[in-house]
Amino acid sequence: MKHSFIDKYSYIESPIHKLPALFKIIFSFIFLIYVVLLKEAWWNYLIIFSLLLFFIFLSHIPPLFVFKRAGVILPFVLLVTIFLPFFKEDGLKMAIITFTKSFLSIIILILLISTTKFSDLISGLSKLRVPNIILMMLSFIYRYFFVLIDEAERMERAARLRSNQEGSKLLKTLSNIVGILFIRSYEKSERIYNAMFLRGFDGEKNECN
Amino acid sequence: MHIPDGFLNTETLILTDVISFASLYLSVKKVNKNIKPERIPLMGISAAFVFVVQLLSFPVVGGTSVHLLGAVLISILLGPFSGLIIIASSLILQAILFQHGGILTLGANILNMGIIGCFLGFLIYKILRNTPIGVFIACIFSAVLAAIFCAIELGLSGKVPLKLAVVSMGGTHIIIGGIEGIATLFILSIIKKVRPDLLELEKI
CB pairs under 8 A between A and B: 222
What percent of chain A stands above pLDDT 70?
90
Look at A174 and B32 and tell me if their CB atoms are within 8 Å: no
Record: contact A141-B182, CB cut-off 8 A: no
Cβ pair B37:A197 closer than 8 A:
yes
Whole-number pLDDT of residue B107: 94
Instruction: Kindly report, residue by residue over B153-177, the tens digit of the pLDDT.
Output: 998 988 888 888 899 889 989 988 9
pLDDT tens-digit readout, A154-168: 998 888 888 777 666
Please report residues of B whose CB lies closer than 8 A to that of A103. Answer: 6
Helix runs in chain B, H state only: 10-32, 39-53, 71-78, 80-98, 106-110, 121-127, 132-156, 162-194
Kindly write down the DSSP assignment for every residue of B39-96, as one continuous string.
Answer: HHHHHHHHHHHHHHHTTSPEE-GGG-EE----HHHHHHHH-HHHHHHHHHHHHHHHHH
d(CA B60, CA B175): 9
Q: Do A202 and B31 touch (CB under 8 A)?
A: no
pLDDT at A209: 44
Dist CA B18 CA B23 (whole Å): 8
Distance CA B170, CA B155 (A): 13
Contact A84, A91 (CB under 8 A): yes
What does the DSSP 8-state code read for residue B4? P
**Predicted confidence (pLDDT) at residue A84 exceeds the cutoff of 90:** no
Strand partners, B193: none
- Chain A residue nearest residue B58, CA to CA: A171
CB-nearest partner of A149 from B5, B46, B55? B55
Chain A: closest CA distance from residue B61 (Å): 7
Which residues of chain B fall below pLDDT 70? 61-63
In this prediction, residue A98 has a pLDDT band, given cuts at 50, 70 and 90, of confident
A167 and B49 within 8 Å at the Cβ level: the answer is no
Kindly identify which residue of chain B lies nearest to residue A99, measuring between CA atoms. Answer: B6
Q: Are A149 and B53 a contacting pair at CB < 8 A?
A: no
